[in-house]
Chain A
Amino acid sequence: MTQTTLELRPLDFYSAHSVPEALHYLADRGEETAILAGGTDLMVQLQRREISPQAILHIERINELRYIDQETAAPVLGGLVRHRTLAIHNELSSYSAIRRSAGLVGGWQTQSAGTIGGNICNASPAGDTIPALLIHGAQVRLQSKAHGCREMPLSEFLLGRRSTARRPDELLTQIALEPVPQRSADAYYKVGRRAAMEVAVVGLALRLTLNEGLDTVTDARIALCSAGPAVYRATAAESALCGARLAAEVLKEAGQLLAASAQPIDDVRGTRSYRLKLLPRLLTTVVNQCVEQIRAKSV
């Protein structure tokens, strides 16, 4: 079944080449404008007629937003950094969960076009890079012509399914990450039916920090995608791990709290009950992997 060229309502297409140019456009028409970066989500929504903006603001030519800066204590990423760049980037070595998640957003074709800013602003409950960013305490920067810059934690920026705190006249320009403490490791695991897929059955990101004796958890950050209406930090499970010795009962309790925190649905990729069974086992696997990595680094 072929869809003929879509008879979309008359639509404006404007390509901005600088941040001020984009902000100027959004100040004027932000309410009726969809922002096009890589377009891997937007184009699907447009073609399915899930959205009908009156204008498309193409921002992908704003080259000044395509940077990875590690000069400061912790990296900052421009909003237009592509998933493929992150996936194969040799730096950001302490942020392997971010690199790994970027390499799992769809296939290579998706990653060539898709951007981290786009992944965040689309705010899909299945957005792969979002859990990895959350566990690293990501802060987003939003810019507008009227109000300049404001920063906010990514956790507060995400409001719900496909809903963010971005105002219509704002552009997400930068993501800042926290430094990684000593004796830490991170990981992102995506469960799915294909090696590359649009949506995860479940995705889990973990950042774990151990004490000097390497037998007790001093910090645990867990974030899930495809387990609820929005990507979220599983704070109850985190608390169960924090300060606890690494033991089977601790992992079991944390796993139960993790499953309890989730609100997965039945969808074409998996059932609610499967996802709930999966979560505790996934947590154990990822915790063990991170512990191994931390111990290996400390040898």
Chain B
Amino acid sequence: MKLQFKVNGRSCVVDAPPGESLLDVIRDRLHLTGTKEGCREGECGACTVLLDDKPIDACIFAAHAAAGLEVETIEGLNASGELTPLQQAFVDCGGTQCGFCTPGFIMMLTALLRETPAPDAATVREAIAGNICRCTGYAQIEDAVQKVITK
């Protein structure tokens, strides 16, 4: 079944079965593998993408429900080839270790900072409550956000 939508600013048409998740379309049909599969049940946030600017878990989003809408993935943040200030802050603060959860966190935090450029620590923590990191213990991630805000 034909699906037409925008990904990172470009119009895409794919053929996907009706029940397929947006994550599978992004990774397997569009070959944008920056978005990760962690749990496949909407708990870990590794698959977070922005749909019309709203953060969603792509693993539990029906691809065809995105018809005509705009998806932004981690690849879309770096069209210029440079890291965003948030990504650079993750590097500087040790917010990334294995890196698997990072795209999901970056997309979620990008959505937050677009909506609230200077959130307090509690707001940041609440915003990332749907993202799991097994490596960092989150402190470095929170530091990275603070670093970007104070800049």
Residues in chain A within 8 A of chain B (CB atoms) = 2-3, 5-6, 8, 11-13, 15, 36, 39-40, 42-44, 46-47, 56, 58, 60, 84, 106-110, 112-113, 194-198
The CA of A6 and the CA of B98, in the complex, are separated in Å by 28
- Which chain B residue shows the least CB distance to A113? B56
Segment among B16-24, B78-86, B88-96, B140-148 that sits at the interface with chain A? B16-24
- Shortest beta-carbon distance from A156 to chain B in Å: 30
29 contacting pairs across A/B (C-beta < 8 A)? A5-B24, A12-B18, A13-B18, A39-B65, A42-B62, A43-B21, A44-B41, A44-B60, A46-B19, A47-B19, A47-B40, A47-B41, A56-B19, A56-B62, A58-B62, A106-B43, A107-B129, A108-B108, A108-B127, A108-B130, A110-B130, A112-B51, A113-B56, A113-B61, A194-B129, A195-B125, A195-B129, A198-B41, A198-B42
What are the nearest 4 A-B pairs in CB distance?
A: A107-B130, A196-B129, A13-B18, A195-B129
Chain B residues with Cβ below 8 Å from A39 are 60-62, 65
Could you give, for residues 97-133 of chain B, a 1 whenever the CB lies within 8 Å of some chain A CB and a 0 otherwise?
0000000000010010000000000000111011100
Q: In the complex, what residue of chain B is closest to A58 when comparing beta carbons? A: B65
How many Å from the CB of B122 to the closest CB on chain A?
Answer: 10
| Chain B neighbourhood of A8, CB < 8 A | 17-19
The CA-CA distance from A15 to B62 in the complex, in Å, is 12
CB distance from A253 to the nearest CB of B (A): 36
Q: Separation in Å of the A199 CB from the closest CB of chain B?
A: 10
Nearest opposing residue in chain B for A195, CB measure: B129
Main secondary structure of the interface of B (DSSP, over half): mixed
- With CB as the reference atom, state the residue of chain B lying closest to A111: B130
B41-75: CB near A (< 8 Å → 1, else 0) gives 11101001001001111011110110100000000
Considering the chains assembled together, what is the distance between the CA atoms of A154 and B1 in angstroms? 37
Known: A44-B41, A112-B56. A5 touches B17 (CB 8 A): yes
* Least CB distance, A231 to chain B, in whole angstroms: 20
Q: How far is the CB of B102 from chain A (nearest CB, A)?
A: 16
* CB neighbours of A106 from chain B (8 A): 42-43, 130
Give Cα A46 to B24, complex, Å. Answer: 14
Q: Which residue of A lies closest to B127 (CB)?
A: A108
Residues of B within 8 A of A195 (CB): 125-126, 129
Residues of A with C-beta under 8 A to B41: 44, 47, 198
